[in-house]
Amino acid sequence: MSQSKIDRLQALLDFVLNCPENEQIEAMDCNEHCESLAALAERVAAGASLEDILPELQYHMRYWHDCREEFEALVAVLKMEIEQL
């Protein structure tokens, strides 16, 4: 088995064994909470730490990579907007 397959398998096992068990965070639909996530992204872009604001969401994003990537992209766009002001 190649190293990349082993790494992917390890990541999957890590997800299954350690994914968050907070039902509210697990059930969060980014589309339904778009305004809340946008407000959080604005605070993070302004310098706040997501871990301080909502640690459960940061933990959630550790395992839900698509959610994390979208949130980080939004934060990056907002940071660029702030820098242009």
Give the pLDDT score at 48: 94
Each residue's pLDDT tens digit, 12-29: 677 667 765 666 655 666
Cβ–Cβ under 8 Å, residues 63 and 18:
yes
In terms of phi and psi (left: phi > 0; alpha: psi -120 to 50; beta: otherwise), the region of 2 is beta
Please give the model's pTM, rounded to 2 decimal places.
0.62
| pLDDT > 70: percent of the chain | 75
Give the pLDDT score at 79: 93
Give the pLDDT score at 6: 81
The half-sphere exposure of 56 on its side-chain side, counting CA atoms within 13 A, is 8
Alpha carbon distance 40, 44 (integer Å): 6
Residue 40 has pLDDT above 70, yes or no: yes
